[in-house]
Structure 1
Amino acid sequence: MMTKQFIELISTTGNDIIYHPDAKFHRYKKLVYNATFNTTCALVGIDTGRLELAGTLDTVTIPAMREVLKIAKADGVELPADSINSVVHSDDGDWFKPSMLVDVEKGNPIELEAILGNLLVVGKELKVETPVLSLIYELLKSVQYRLKEAKGLFKVNDAEPRPISKRYYE
């Protein structure tokens, strides 16, 4: 009930707010696109059409979509059987740049935790294996680092020698 009251408070004639009683279902449905297409395009720097032409759709993005579906199912959400197909064909004929790619191109920090990090936390809690999504996330952390450094959110002093780690790698 509070959600409906909030919607009434912020609704104006200039915006279209839709109430979904099953927010968890709709969040997972949206994550099939956002946690996969959005992130992969941002990582490699190309639109969804070029991602498909390069073969990355089949080798990275669709396997990542399958992981999103597994997390959703483990969380009690059964998405439609055609979810992956629907998402893949949602921008047929377009050279579409997802919002995260646009942010990277503009040099803006990305919504990494909101889009992918939180999903991976849920996956871990539910003991769902997410090798593809996890790799995308780890690589995007480096992209996020670069974007934040370029925005001046922190500074690495290149004039100083880089600290040497005592860590042993096998």
Structure 2
Amino acid sequence: MTQAHYNPVLRLSDAALDRNADRGWFESYDAYVGNILQLTRLGCSYTEVAPGKTACPHHVHHGEDEMLVILSGEGDYRFGDKTYKVRGGDVLGAPVGGPAYAHQLINTGTETLKYLVFSSKADIDVCEYPDSGKFMVSSRPVQGTARHRLRYIGREETSLDYLDGENIGDET
């Protein structure tokens, strides 16, 4: 896209929201602000979560820092083994790390929780989910799409041997 056709301004109230995480108490509506603004190294999404819901499981990234800016509403911010009450105007950190840095934002209020999530954009990320014992390995989506080049969700106990399936030249 040429600069003449590029709009560097997005009014959040005009952003089309996609329904995501629509099972049980996992439900959110998101606009991928970073993609809309064609940012290449900074991720940003705008998220709305109804009362009693959460956008995602308790998780921690190993390749991307995240920062959440609460615009309105209130909730519980699970971080590691602690829970913090948060509301509009609060800024939350979620640095890379292990389970002690796992985080999840839950709408405990009576109105829609609205927030921005900023992230560094790693080409490869590993995301760990301590509550369920799973992990995800993913690569950055193909430019202009939501499709990852590689995305795998599994558990450590299902790990394969390094040479599994390889022709190792064993003539037994």
Higher helix share: 1
TM over 0.5: no
Higher strand share: 2
Q: What TM-score do you get using the length of structure 2 for normalisation?
A: 0.23
